[in-house]
């Protein structure tokens, strides 16, 4: 690779929709697209084929098989589902979709994103970067970044898909992609009804995604837009779920998400590429909860939320991306959130807040090959947010290629997260004096690649300060002292035979809440699993996935007071079969929770039992 030089624009265009590439490029964790060899951070990339092998119907189930990535789930599809990286809080992970941030600071989880609103058929690939990334992304990227990338323009194709399954599951969709002269396009519509695999837990949504790309000589334009309309129901969180909840009324939510981004890339000269980017995200939600009855720790409450985020950046890439290069730029972000509602405790109290803030940022990122085999990287960024002191975040990393088989890497980074609008402004628990949460992260490890085997093992240590938590004595959100998380994550992929691929992963996380006897909820200390992909011939493919999850702490209030329990460990098996009937038609069968394992995702919230889903795809 070192003998072939990519200009910055060529690298950017390789990652642009509509262009094919023989070199996998990563667009997350850096200001410009890079190869895996040009990024020192711990990264996982899942393409569409791999994603559908892990789960043909649910992105949440697929992500369970990724090291150090824990999916926090409450009940079935209607419960809130979010991601925790390396034992951190779910709202410490920055979630992007086609470059647009999806975290909503007005929600009750401090900005954690609900993954149930992402349809797996819409996804082209997922990139996961671990460790603090505030030196690149600013606020919210304490534990890492998950970037979901939808279908990219390319070869002309149209695909129809339809699925039916147990518990009234159904989904349908159509997607089309192609190119007209210099304009590439990809458009998709997907509907999904998750049925009711667990009593009270339902979810429906309709999603529209589109991506356009245009390029000519030294210029490229990219545009994307997404619209999602959904509704869900579930027993309230910590209510005891369908098994123990005293009240039988359900949380109800109707929501709409919209996001858009426009970027212009120009090659000014041989050593200077300029990129201007604008993005927008909006979430509207109408939410009602019966609280936890008949006790008033969690009263009846309602909220109508309107949140908007706009973001503008100018990034300049200077130098030779095979020797020495830098990214220098500025960014401005505006967040505007409003919540109108009420709570009953026992009288009716208004529950309204409206907050906005602007964050102005400047950054510089330096990259160099000290030798042909030794990569050094460093970034620093200043974020000046209204109402808070300016924050400086730094990051440094290195990667050393020992030989053709062994690569060593190490990273250090700083992260911060501004208090959410909910934590600051809620009428009862809000606290306008909250400080930003901060973290210092370290990781080091090695990667081994030889012939048909690829393995990666790393050790990590994250040290959090000023974590925001609810204090029952003052009935306010407060900043706590320190929480440390450390552990080991590993993954191995082995092409055992030409038609057999084996994959295994394991993660160990130790969580230490200093100066506190409390536990962080819902996070297992150990998870591990394995997958087998077998291609019998050109027509038949088989997948089997196994997952082991150890014990987790959970709390419920259905008795009228906080009651902590330990959820038992469990083993889960899933399988799928694909039959390529002809060149245009594929039929698939997904079998979930094959052994009908009876486990709990929260106190009183059982898992779904065994289920089957039949999928049909037709391409033209």
213 has pLDDT over 50 = yes
What per-residue confidence (pLDDT) applies to 4?
34
pLDDT digits 0-9 by tens, 474-495: 778 898 878 899 999 999 999 9
**Averaged pLDDT for residues 118-126:** 91
The DSSP code sequence of 36-105 is GGG--S-EEEEEHHHHHHH-SS-HHHHHTTSTTEEEEE-SSTTS-EEEEETT--GGGEEEEETTEE---T
> Any idea which of 50-54, 174-178, 243-247, 346-350 has the lowest mean pLDDT?
346-350
Phi, psi of 88 (to 5 degrees): -80, 175
Phi, psi of 99 (to 5 degrees): 85, -5
Across-strand partners of 176? Answer: 158, 187
The answer to whether 589 and 33 are in contact (CB under 8 A) is no
**Averaged pLDDT for residues 566-584:** 95
pLDDT digits 0-9 by tens, 334-343: 999 999 999 8
**β-strands 93-97, 144-150: how paired?**
parallel
Better-predicted residue by pLDDT, 514 or 67: 67
Q: Which residues of 115-132 are buried (b: 16+ CB within 10 A; e: fewer)?
A: bbbbbbbbbbbbbbbbbb
Region of residue 512 (left: phi > 0; alpha: psi -120 to 50; beta: else): beta
17 has pLDDT over 70 = no
> Any idea which of 37-41, 160-164, 444-448, 473-477 has the lowest mean pLDDT?
473-477
Kindly report the number of other CB atoms within 10 A of residue 269's CB atom.
7
197 has pLDDT over 70 = yes
What gap in Å lies between CA 395 and CA 381, rounded to an integer?
A: 9
What per-residue confidence (pLDDT) applies to 349?
82
- All domains in the chain, ordered by first residue: 8-619 (2.40.170.20)
Burial class (CB in 10 A: 0-12, 13-18, 19+), 337: buried
**Averaged pLDDT for residues 568-588:** 96
User: Residue 59 belongs to what H/E stretch?
Assistant: helix 59-63
At 242, is the pLDDT very low, low, confident or very high (cuts 50, 70, 90)? very high
* Strand runs labelled E in 372-499: 374-385, 391-401, 406-417, 437-450, 453-465, 468-471, 476-479, 483-497
Q: Quote the pTM value.
A: 0.93
Q: What percent of the chain has pLDDT over 90?
A: 72
What gap in Å lies between CA 456 and CA 412, rounded to an integer?
A: 18
205 has pLDDT over 80 = yes
Better-predicted residue by pLDDT, 60 or 368: 368
Across-strand partners of 344? Answer: 300, 348
pLDDT digits 0-9 by tens, 495-513: 999 999 999 999 999 988 7
């Amino acid at each position: 690779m070192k003998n072939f030089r990519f200009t910055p624009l060529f690298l950017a265009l390789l990652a642009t929709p509509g262009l094919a590439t023989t070199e996998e490029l990563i667009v997350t964790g850096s200001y410009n697209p890079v190869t895996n060899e040009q990024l020192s951070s711990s990264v996982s990339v899942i393409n569409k084929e791999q994603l559908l092998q892990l789960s043909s119907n649910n992105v949440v189930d697929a992500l369970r098989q990724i090291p150090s990535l824990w999916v926090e789930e409450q009940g079935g599809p209607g419960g809130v589902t979010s991601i925790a990286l390396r034992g951190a809080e779910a709202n410490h992970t920055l979630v992007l979709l086609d470059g647009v941030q999806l975290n909503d600071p007005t929600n009750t989880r401090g900005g954690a994103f609900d993954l149930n609103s992402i349809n797996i058929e819409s996804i082209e690939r997922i990139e996961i970067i671990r460790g603090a990334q505030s030196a690149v992304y600013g606020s919210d990227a304490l534990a890492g970044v998950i970037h979901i990338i939808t279908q990219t323009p390319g070869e002309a194709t149209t695909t129809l898909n339809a699925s039916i399954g147990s518990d009234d599951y159904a989904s349908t969709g159509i997607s089309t992609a192609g190119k007209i002269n210099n304009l590439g396009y990809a458009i998709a519509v997907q509907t999904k009804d998750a049925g009711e695999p667990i009593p009270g837990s339902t979810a429906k949504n309709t999603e529209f995604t589109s991506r356009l790309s245009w390029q000519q000589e030294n210029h490229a334009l990219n545009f994307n837009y997404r619209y999602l309309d959904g509704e869900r129901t579930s027993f309230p969180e910590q209510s005891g779920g369908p098994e123990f909840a005293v009240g039988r009324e359900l949380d109800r939510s109707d929501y709409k998400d919209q996001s858009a981004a426009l970027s212009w890339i120009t090659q000014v000269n041989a050593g200077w590429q300029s990129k201007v980017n604008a993005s927008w995200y909006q979430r509207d939600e109408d939410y009602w909860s019966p609280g936890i009855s008949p006790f008033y720790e969690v009263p009846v409450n309602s909220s109508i939320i309107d949140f908007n985020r706009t973001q503008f950046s100018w990034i300049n890439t200077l130098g030779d991306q095979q020797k020495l290069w830098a990214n220098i730029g500025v960014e401005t972000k505006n967040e505007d959130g409003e919540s109108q509602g009420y709570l009953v405790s026992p009288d009716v109290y208004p529950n309204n807040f409206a907050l906005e803030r602007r964050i102005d940022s400047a950054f510089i990122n330096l990259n160099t090959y000290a030798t042909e085999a030794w990569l050094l990287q460093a970034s620093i960024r200043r974020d000046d947010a209204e109402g808070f002191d300016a924050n400086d975040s730094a990051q440094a990393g290195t990667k050393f290629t020992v030989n053709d088989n062994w690569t060593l890497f190490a990273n250090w980074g700083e992260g911060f997260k501004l208090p959410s609008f909910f934590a600051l402004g809620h009428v009862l628990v809000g606290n306008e004096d909250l400080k930003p949460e901060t973290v210092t992260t370290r990781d080091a490890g090695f990667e081994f690649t030889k012939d048909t085997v690829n393995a990666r093992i790393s050790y990590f240590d994250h040290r959090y300060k000023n974590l925001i938590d609810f204090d029952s004595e003052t009935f306010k959100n407060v900043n706590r002292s320190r929480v440390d998380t450390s552990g080991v994550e590993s993954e191995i992929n082995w092409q055992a035979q030409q038609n057999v691929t084996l994959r295994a992963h394991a993660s160990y996380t130790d969580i230490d809440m200093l100066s506190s006897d409390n536990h962080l909820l819902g996070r297992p200390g150990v998870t591990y699993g394995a997958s087998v992909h077998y291609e019998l011939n050109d027509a038949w493919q088989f997948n089997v996935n196994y997952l082991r999850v150890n014990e987790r702490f959970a709390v419920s209030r259905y008795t009228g007071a906080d009651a902590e329990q330990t959820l038992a460990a469990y083993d889960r098996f899933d399988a799928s079969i694909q039959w390529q009937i002809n060149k245009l038609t594929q039929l698939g069968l997904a079998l979930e929770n094959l052994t009908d394992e009876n486990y709990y995702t929260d106190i009183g919230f059982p898992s779904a039992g065994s289920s089957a889903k039949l999928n049909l795809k037709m391409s033209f």
